[in-house]
């Protein structure tokens, strides 16, 4: 089967043109591997919500192929599509809960539609609410819940039929930063526990930074840039990506103090302009067999060039961390400064 077998979602030359002539998605090609948490980011009107709705055919593509786990869903009959959709869970910005049903009944709804045996539904609802840590709210109504709790109910409902894929359309954009962090953590844990492939639409770069391993940047219906998150952050190519990164809350050294962990160096990497064409962070990960976490940073526009800095935590063998820091300084044309030596 080789490489192709790892691909969960393959989008080929997909277009979406609405009846009013609006061309929302233009010739998009995307490959999303099993187990990816894949972010699609863009400003509003970029086409990302149309794109995510094509993945379960809530919207019909005008042209192109959408291959999910080896099956081109554009050729499925209505019945086959309904069957396929069971394996694709989806969560939304405004939760889309039924206000007249309790938390438990909202989750059960997805199972009823999928024609689960009545006796099994109760058991499954309990399981699902445990996963999202909301068991004590089973008999509450949505209007008695906070935004974060509502999104947890929606996540439980999306997981009801053991999906392979979870689609998230701006799922945290109505939530405050603290709740956002908790929901993203929950999504990450669920992804790891069940081996899901997650596709996240967002306009918030911090969501991408927090949880995604791959990202595609959309603008005007097209994908202008895509790749590993490390790479895109350290070497943004397109103006729109630079702009989206510049919206990240700047991190300064005061904030870094709270992030220190024994045995993990923290370094500040400075890069100028497009020195960072090379994906130096991905290179370092491969070369030294360590992991790197981007914990903050900013990109400042000076009129003639760009100056950026990233704060990075190194994880792995201390000796290898030291070698990597030295390599950053020598090889990659960036300036590496040790902020914390892991002791």
174 and 109: one domain? yes
Residues 93 and 212 in one domain: yes
Q: Does the structure show a pLDDT above 90 at 39?
A: yes
Same domain, 202 and 268: no
Quick one: 205 and 329 in the same domain? Answer: no
Same structural domain for residues 141 and 282?
Answer: no
Q: Tell me: pLDDT of 280 over 80.
A: no
If one counts the domains in the chain, the total is 2
Tokens (6 digits) for 167: 């689609």
CA dihedral over 9, 16, 51, 147, signed as positive or negative: negative
Q: Is residue 147 within 8 Å of 179, Cβ to Cβ?
A: yes
pLDDT of residue 31: 95
- How far apart CA 143 and CA 157 sit, in angstroms, is 17
Please list the helix, strand and coil fractions of the chain in percent, rounded to the nearest 5, in that order. 40, 30, 30
Residues 222 and 263 in one domain: no
- The token pair at 224 is 């202008």
Of 234, 269, 301, the residue at which a domain comes to its end is 234
pLDDT band at 7 (very low <50, low <70, confident <90, very high): very high
Question: Quick one: 254 and 322 in the same domain?
Answer: yes
**pTM value?**
0.74
Average pLDDT over residues 319-327: 86
Give the pLDDT confidence of 215-263 residue by residue, as tens digits: 999 999 999 999 888 778 777 788 888 777 776 665 555 666 666 778 8
Residue 38 is assigned to a structural domain of this protein: yes
Residues 45 and 127 in one domain: yes
Classify residue 242: in a domain, yes or no: no
pLDDT digits (tens, 9 = 90+) for 91-131: 888 878 888 999 999 999 988 888 888 889 999 999 999 99
Cα–Cα–Cα angle for 15, 20, 24, rounded to 5 degrees: 30
Q: Are residues 256 and 212 in the same domain?
A: no
Q: Which residue range forms the structural domain that includes residue 131?
A: 2-234
Residue 243 lies in a domain: no
pLDDT recorded at residue 308? 67
Question: Which pLDDT score, from 0 to 100, does residue 64 have?
Answer: 95
Nearest alpha-carbon partner for 224 in 243, 246, 206, 250:
243
Note the pLDDT of residue 303: 39
Q: Would you state the pLDDT for residue 129? A: 95
- Beta pairing partners, 169: 92, 201
Q: Could you tell me where the DSSP H helices lie in 7-146?
A: 48-54, 78-85, 103-113, 118-131
């Amino acid at each position: 089967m080789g490489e192709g077998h790892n691909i969960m979602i393959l989008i080929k030359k997909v277009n979406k043109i609405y009846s009013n002539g609006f061309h929302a998605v233009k010739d998009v090609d995307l490959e999303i591997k099993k187990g990816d948490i894949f972010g699609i980011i863009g400003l509003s009107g970029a086409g990302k919500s149309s794109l995510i709705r094509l993945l379960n055919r809530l919207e019909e593509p005008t042209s192109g192929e959408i291959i999910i786990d080896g099956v081109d869903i554009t050729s499925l009959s209505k019945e086959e599509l309904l069957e396929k959709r069971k394996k694709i869970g989806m969560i939304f910005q405004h939760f889309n809960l039924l206000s007249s049903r309790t938390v438990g009944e909202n989750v059960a709804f997805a199972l009823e539609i999928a024609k689960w045996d009545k006796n099994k539904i109760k058991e499954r609802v309990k399981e699902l609410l445990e996963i999202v840590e909301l068991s004590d709210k089973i008999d509450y109504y949505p209007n008695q819940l906070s935004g974060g709790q509502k999104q947890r109910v929606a996540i439980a409902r999306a997981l009801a039929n053991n999906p392979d894929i979870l689609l998230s359309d701006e799922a945290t954009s109505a939530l405050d930063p603290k709740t956002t962090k908790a929901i993203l953590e929950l999504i990450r844990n669920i992804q790891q526990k069940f081996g899901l492939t997650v596709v996240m639409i967002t306009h918030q770069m911090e969501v991408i930074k927090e949880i995604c391993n791959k990202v595609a940047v959309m603008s005007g219906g097209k994908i202008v840039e895509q790749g590993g998150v490390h790479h895109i952050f350290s070497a943004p190519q397109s103006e729109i990506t630079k702009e989206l990164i510049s919206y990240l809350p700047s991190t300064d050294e005061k904030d870094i103090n709270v992030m220190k962990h024994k045995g993990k160096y923290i370094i500040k990497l400075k890069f100028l302009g497009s020195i960072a064409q090379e994906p130096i962070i991905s290179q370092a990960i491969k070369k030294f067999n360590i992991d790197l976490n981007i914990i903050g940073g900013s990109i400042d526009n000076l009129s003639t060039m760009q100056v950026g800095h990233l704060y990075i935590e190194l994880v792995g063998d201390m000796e290898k961390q030291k070698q990597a820091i030295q390599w950053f300084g020598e090889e990659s044309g960036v300036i590496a400064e040790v902020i914390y030596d892991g002791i």
